[in-house]
Amino acid sequence: MGKKELSPNLETVPESLVQLAVADKLINLCRANSLWPLTFGIACCAIEMMGTGAARFDLSRFGAEVFRPSPRQADVMIVAGTISKKMAPGIKTLYDQMPEPKWVIALGNCAISGGPFVYEGQYGIIEGADQFLPVDVYVPGCPPRPEALIEGIIELEHKITGWRRWPKVKPEWREDNNT
Amino acid sequence: MSLTLLNAAVAVFIAICFVGLNAAYLVWCERKGAGFYQRRPGPMENGPWGLLQPPIDGVKLMTKQLLIPGGVDKAIFMVAPVLAMFPALISFVTIPFSKNIVAHPINVGVLMIFAFAALGGMSLLVAGWGSRNKYAMISSVRAVSQTVAYEIPMLITTITIVLVSGSLNLSEIAASQLGGFWKWNIWGFQEAVGYNILMPISFLIIFVCAVAETNRAPFDLGEAESELVAGFHTEYSSMGFGLFFMGEYANIVIGACLVTILFLGGWSSPVPLGFFPFTDHVGWFLLKIYMIIFVFIWIRWTFPRTTIYGLLNLSWKYLIPISLFNLLLTAALLKVF
Ligand code: SF4
């Protein structure tokens, strides 16, 4: 993917003077369990994101259903959809407006690598959110199912705390395919 | 009741604890309630039944970067959240939870609560003005016009109750309704209110105004996400936002207390049984306010948001004329009976 250009904000936030390991762990646990996403969807994957928040899948079980409309109050940016070149500056601005600590989830093939819109000579889209954002978790699929987004959020919690809520499930279909 | 220093300190401490706990756990109730109205469980995984969610959110908000955007009016920007929380706290000083549980019964308690409610409206204006954001500005103008519009019918209807009970003291207003649910001001067919059968309607008016005063759905025009980003607290991160949130829930509790005291008999038990130990107990008061808060949450997750015109029309064209007429009628009927 080449060199990632991180937002300048990441480097300007000073480290805390007093380092307390236990308190840090506790704070990280709290941060991981109250991930408020930013309300915005760019393409079809956003529909799946809405589905994740709705009754059947219920993102709120993990305390992550508080979709904040203002970037100042959001913790995680879910890039849900195709990033057109026209939209990218707006997304970058939104990311820069979020206060630290902040995370990015790339939802769907479009946000990972451009998805179905990549072909020779394409001029309209950016091939992956990681071209201009520091992405923490990639959720593949076109579109990913809501369970996949929930798994992505649990994976992000894993990344923040170093502790996983539930053990990973080995996908069954792969074994069938291999034999 | 003499207000010694220790007395005052204890009262303030209890008030802060009550408000803080209420604000935190009403958020939990709200999220749980939202879940149940939408047929999903709501917060479940963090603690039993998601009960740890409010402290977790609190710690997260406190440890988030407190961002002051460039170009804002710093003093005003920082004062606004405190201004949102502070009047709500102060108002608890005069609210009587029962005959004895009241920090300081002021003889113009009603007036004081309305005065501080107006200060709460100002905090919205200041927040929008200070944050140098056009959405926040529009939203705060909306919120203030709404607060002003709904304060008028609320005040006029409160005057009706003041006429009936002849006092501005909240304790006395509540005490005048003791002795069974048929003595509560919400019922029109009793001598105390001059057989004014419009009493249930004035209860409705004050209830609607209480919902609108606290800027809650369906009247949360100030926070219309689809038009105004996040409303007047668009630029607030971290605990600045947290304080606005807590202030909102504290205001809800105050609105519920006010409705309970004015119309539902305060701490009076529905049936007066002399030998029953819980007659006229603080438990009744808490039961009533939490039932009203439950209805607030119910309304919020049931009705869609109105338009700003619908909102202002409701107040200026219906609520104010009706409440004026009601005031006139009550005064006349009290003279007759
Ligand atoms: S990954 Fe597929 S579903 Fe998602 S935005 Fe792209 S095209 Fe749409």
Task: Report CB contact under 8 Å: B35, A58.
Answer: yes
Residue A23 CA, distance from chain mean position: 25
Q: A17-31, A95-109, B137-151: which range is least confident on average?
A: A17-31
- Using CA of residue A158, residue A162, residue A165, residue A166, what is the dihedral sign? positive
Give residue A104's pLDDT. Answer: 92
Q: How many CB pairs lie under 8 A apart between chains A and B?
A: 94
* Nearest-by-Cβ selection for B59 from A27, A56, A66: A27
Cα A94 to middle of ligand 1, angstroms: 21
Q: Which ligand 1 atom lies nearest to the CA of residue A117?
A: 7
Q: Cα separations (Å) of B19 from A15, B46, B82?
A: 33, 23, 14
Instruction: Identify the DSSP state of B263.
Output: H
- Asked if A33 has any chain B CB less than 8 Å from its own CB, the reply is yes
Picking from B49, B63, B134, B227 by the largest number of A CB atoms within 10 A of its own CB, the best residue to mutate is B63
Testing ligand 1's pocket by substitution, the residue of A50, A113, A142, A145 carrying the most ligand atoms inside 8 A of its CB is A142
Convert the pLDDT of each residue in B161-191 to its tens digit: 888 888 888 888 887 887 777 778 777 777 7
Using a CB-CB cut-off of 8 Å, the residues of chain B touching A69 are 225, 229-230
CA-wise closest residue to B225 among A91, A51, A66: A66
Instruction: Kindly state the tokens that stand for A47.
Output: 């529909």
* Nearest-by-Cβ selection for A34 from B56, B237, B238: B56
Q: What is the mean pLDDT of residues B295-299?
A: 89
Q: Report the distance separating Cα B79 and Cα B84, nearest Å.
A: 9
Q: What is the pTM of this model?
A: 0.83
Q: Report the distance separating Cα A71 and Cα A38, nearest Å.
A: 6
Convert the pLDDT of each residue in A2-26 to its tens digit: 555 555 444 555 566 776 777 888 8
- Asked if B57 has any chain A CB less than 8 Å from its own CB, the reply is yes
Whether residue A41 is predicted with pLDDT greater than 80 in this model: the reply is yes
Instruction: Kindly state the tokens that stand for A123.
Output: 């001029």
Instruction: Identify the DSSP state of B304.
Output: P
Peptide bond into A101 cis (omega under 30): yes
Using a CB-CB cut-off of 8 Å, the residues of chain A touching B230 are 68-70, 72-73
ipTM of the complex, rounded to two decimals: 0.77
Give residue B1's pLDDT. Answer: 47
Nearest chain B CA: its distance from A4 CA (Å): 24
Whether residue A129 is predicted with pLDDT greater than 80 in this model: the reply is yes
Convert the pLDDT of each residue in B235-283 to its tens digit: 888 888 888 888 888 888 888 888 888 888 878 777 777 666 667 777 8
Q: Which ligand 1 atom lies nearest to the CA of residue A142?
A: 2
At A1, the pLDDT band (50, 70, 90 cuts) reads very low
Task: Report CB contact under 8 Å: A63, B66.
Answer: no
Cα A36 to middle of ligand 1, angstroms: 23
Task: Report CB contact under 8 Å: A60, B56.
Answer: no
Secondary structure class of B28 (helix, strand, coil): helix
